Amino acid sequence: MFRQTDWTSPKGVLLVSLVGLALRLPNAFAGIGFDGDSGLYLRNALLSKMQGVYIPSRGPGYFIPDLIGQTLAGYGPVPLCLLNSFLFVLSIPVFAAILRSLNVAHRNWILWAYTLCPVSWVATSDVMVEYSLSLSGILLGWLCTLRGNFWAAGLALGAGAAMRPSQGVFILVIFIVYWMLRWGLGRGVSAGVLSLVALTMLWILPVGVLAGWHIVVSYLPYEFPWLQGLMRAAGRVLSAFGFLGSAAIAAGVVLSFQSLLRQYRYVDPAWLSFAAFLILFALFLRHPFKMNYLFLIIPFALHALSVHSHKLLVSATCLLLTLHSFVGFPSVGLISTRYDFRWIGWGTGMRDWMERREVAKQIDQLIDRISPGAVLAVQDPMIRKLEYEALRGARPGFSFTGKVVIDSASQRVFAHAATPEEVIKIARNFRREKMYITSGAHFVLKRDFGYDASSDGFIILRVDNVGL
């Protein structure tokens, strides 16, 4: 049946879309996603609504997604997770149309891999809707580009880039260059101007006016030792693709590039995909701590890898990527068991579902272990969730002061411990008889800064979750 059915046809893509949506529902209902920015996105959305001012979820500003967050964050994480999943599903027919327009070989395999590979599964069942919004605009602009509709291509690409400018701006630049080379300066520049108008109206102008122009240019790479960054990038790649999938992608990149040099010396859409694939992977290396940065790569990478047209390699790559959502080789955790490396186990999509539920239980268990009047210093995933839940009223008696979360009934304090300066400030401002720090936070501070929190009076609280 798989060989006979064209899954990119209207009937076929409907079934693919329904399968993609159904598999994301358990993750969406499991709560806030694995990224520490997920809780930050929700927290700032509620703060914006409560204070009546626009507070960006993070730089360089995600204006439209932040507005959506302000509308829905008060109802809990599930509505945003469901919306994100639904928005991604809407992009599946658009990508199918792109594959048909390009007459891509083995497009059935490619469409299924696009829908079910671990990165898209995890990123599009999270609360941060900018991923699906950005990809939808980019794919729509790509489709309009293939159909020669320069004004629609410009507007769609500009809108898509505005949803997630930290990556979208770079994709837009590639398309503008392609438009000018493919269509000539007249139509290419016209499409570029339209895209910049959309980008300005949906991102630059509102963020600059409402939050400050410095936010627009605040996107900077993390600073880290190169060896640590390389190891973390390798871990995220293994989470996303697995050993076999990564090896297949590497082989496909080499073969496709050779085919491009031999067969596609003119301005071909294959060069566009290859360029987007390379620039997006380079951006991931600037932030190697986040697997989500690999999400926008997927459609371009799959098209670029299909250029060599070796059926066995293309189908094997797509199959391996899809299977890695269910069975991991290796099985690499995302948060709650981030360093729980197993040669084989649950795949990334399944582990994300398990870990979301487990994190919520572990946070409750941690809170129950803290005695009245004590202080607990924790990492991003826990404190952001507590801040959001306190603002939403999901934890009676908990309040967020703008700096720490306080349980008024027992006078317990929960604080962020990302740097030695933060921990020292906690010890100075909230000196208590009992001050705890989670073993995960202590480990990260010792590893990244050489700082031992126990020297300032903190008791190391052993927890299984290195992300809390």
3-state secondary structure 198-231: HHHHHHHHHHHHHHCHHHHCCCCCCCCCHHHHHH
Q: Is 400 helix (H, G, I), strand (E, B) or coil?
A: strand
User: Residue 347 and residue 249: Cα distance in Å, rounded?
Assistant: 18
The predicted pLDDT at position 295 comes to 94
Instruction: Give the phi and the psi of residue 157 in degrees, each rounded to 5.
Output: -65, -40
Contact by Cβ (8 Å): 34, 125: no
User: Residue 105 and residue 146: Cα distance in Å, rounded?
Assistant: 17
Instruction: Please name the residues in contact with 431: beta carbons below 8 A apart, sequence gap of 6 or more.
Output: 457
User: Residue 290 and residue 248: Cα distance in Å, rounded?
Assistant: 22
Instruction: Give the phi and the psi of residue 414 in degrees, each rounded to 5.
Output: -120, 125
Instruction: Please name the residues in contact with 264: beta carbons below 8 A apart, sequence gap of 6 or more.
Output: 270, 271, 307
Contact by Cβ (8 Å): 13, 19: no
- Map tokens 């009223």 to a residue: 393
The predicted pLDDT at position 290 comes to 81
Contact by Cβ (8 Å): 139, 95: yes
Q: Count Cβ atoms below 10 Å from residue 38 Cβ, excluding itself.
A: 26
Q: Is 414 helix (H, G, I), strand (E, B) or coil?
A: strand
Q: pLDDT per position in the chain (468 positions), as tens?
A: 456 778 999 999 999 999 999 999 999 999 887 677 899 999 999 999 999 999 999 989 999 999 999 999 999 999 999 999 999 999 999 999 999 999 998 999 999 999 999 999 999 999 999 999 999 999 999 999 999 999 999 999 999 999 999 999 999 999 999 999 989 899 999 999 999 999 999 999 999 999 999 999 887 666 667 777 787 788 888 889 999 999 999 999 899 888 888 876 677 888 999 999 999 999 998 888 788 899 999 999 999 999 887 889 999 999 999 999 999 888 876 644 455 677 888 999 998 998 888 888 889 999 999 999 999 999 888 899 999 999 999 999 999 998 899 999 899 999 999 899 999 998 888 888 899 999 989 988 998 889 999 888 899 998 877 778
Instruction: Give the phi and the psi of residue 105 in degrees, each rounded to 5.
Output: -70, 145
User: Residue 444 and residue 423: Cα distance in Å, rounded?
Assistant: 12
Instruction: Please name the residues in contact with 352: beta carbons below 8 A apart, sequence gap of 6 or more.
Output: 27, 33, 34, 121, 122, 125, 334
Contact by Cβ (8 Å): 408, 366: no
Which tokens sit at 362?
């572990």
User: Residue 60 and residue 166: Cα distance in Å, rounded?
Assistant: 7
This prediction has a pTM of 0.93
